[in-house]
Structure 1
Amino acid sequence: MGLEKKHFVLVHGACHGAWCWYKLKPRLESAGHKVTALDLAASGINLQKMEDVHTFSQYSEALLQLLATIPPNEKVILVGHSLGGLNIALAMEQFPEKILVGVFLTAFTPDIEHQPSYVLEKYNERTPSAAWIDTEFSPCANKTLMFFGPKFFSDKLYQLTSIEDLELGKSLARVSSLFIEDLSKQKQFSKEGYGSVPRAFILCTEDLAIPLEYQQWMIQNSALNDVLEIKGADHMPMLCMPQELFDSLHQIATKYE
Structure 2
Amino acid sequence: MAKFVFVHGAGHGAWCWYKVLPRLRQAGHAALAVDLSSAGISTVDPNEVRTLARYSQPLVELIEFLPQGDKIVLVGHSLGGIVVTYVMEKYPTKCAAAIFVVASMLPSGPKAIEVRDKAVMSGFSEIVDRFYTKGSEVPTSSRLKPEHHQPVLYHLCSSEDVELANLLLKPNPLLPPSEIAVEYTKEKYGSVPRYYIKGMHDRVIPAAMQDYLLENNPPNGVLELASDHSPFFSTPDELVKALVSIITSLK
> What does 1:205-220 align with in structure 2 at a 5 Å threshold?
205-220=200-215
* Offset of residue 121 of structure 1: 3.1
Tell me the residue number matched to 2:187. 192
Answering whether residue 213 of structure 2 is matched by residue 245 of structure 1, we say no
* Offset of residue 187 of structure 1: 5.6
Tell me the residue number matched to 1:13. 9
Of residues 145-154 and 114-123 in structure 1, the stretch that sits farther from structure 2 once superposed is: 114-123
Residues 137/94 of structure 1: CA separation in 2 closer, same or farther (3 Å cut) = same
List runs of 5+ in structure 2 lacking aligned partners.
none
Tell me the residue number matched to 1:32. 28
List runs of 5+ in structure 1 lacking aligned partners.
none
Answering whether residue 169 of structure 2 is matched by residue 176 of structure 1, we say no
**Structure 1 counterpart of 2:229, which letter?**
H
* Offset of residue 72 of structure 1: 3.4
Distance in 1 (alpha carbons) for counterparts of 2:48 and 2:110 = 27
Distance in 1 (alpha carbons) for counterparts of 2:85 and 2:15 = 21
**Structure 2 counterpart of 1:238, which letter?**
F
Q: 2:104·2:116 contact (CA, 8 Å) conserved in 1?
A: yes
Deviations, residues 190-211 of structure 1 (Å, cap 9, x unaligned): 1112122111000010000111
Distance in 1 (alpha carbons) for counterparts of 2:182 and 2:170 = 29
TM-score, normalization by structure 1: 0.90
CA RMSD of aligned residues (A): 1.8
SS in 2 for 1:60: helix
Residues 162/240 of structure 1: CA separation in 2 closer, same or farther (3 Å cut) = same
* Offset of residue 151 of structure 1: 2.0
Of residues 133-142 and 103-112 in structure 1, the stretch that sits farther from structure 2 once superposed is: 133-142
**Structure 2 counterpart of 1:35, which letter?**
A
* Offset of residue 254 of structure 1: 0.7
Tell me the residue number matched to 2:230. 236
**Structure 2 counterpart of 1:85, which letter?**
G
Distance in 1 (alpha carbons) for counterparts of 2:93 and 2:15 = 28
* Offset of residue 128 of structure 1: 3.7
Aligned length: 248
SS in 1 for 2:140: strand
* Offset of residue 118 of structure 1: 4.2
> What does 1:69-218 align with in structure 2 at a 5 Å threshold?
69-112=65-108, 114=110, 116-123=112-119, 127-129=121-123, 131-132=124-125, 134-140=127-133, 141=136, 144-183=140-179, 188-218=183-213
Distance in 2 (alpha carbons) for counterparts of 1:205 and 1:187 = 27
Residues 252/95 of structure 1: CA separation in 2 closer, same or farther (3 Å cut) = same
Distance in 1 (alpha carbons) for counterparts of 2:30 and 2:89 = 23
* Offset of residue 68 of structure 1: 1.2
Deviations, residues 41-66 of structure 1 (Å, cap 9, x unaligned): 00000111101212111001111111
Identity of aligned residues (%): 35
**Structure 1 counterpart of 2:164, which letter?**
L
**Structure 2 counterpart of 1:196, which letter?**
S
Of 47, 53, 57, which aligns to 1:51?
47
Distance in 2 (alpha carbons) for counterparts of 1:187 and 1:158 = 29
Q: 2:49·2:175 contact (CA, 8 Å) conserved in 1?
A: no
Residues 65/116 of structure 1: CA separation in 2 closer, same or farther (3 Å cut) = farther
Q: 1:55·1:182 contact (CA, 8 Å) conserved in 2?
A: no
SS in 1 for 2:104: coil
Distance in 2 (alpha carbons) for counterparts of 1:128 and 1:8 = 33
TM-score, normalization by structure 2: 0.92
* Offset of residue 115 of structure 1: 5.1
* Offset of residue 132 of structure 1: 4.4
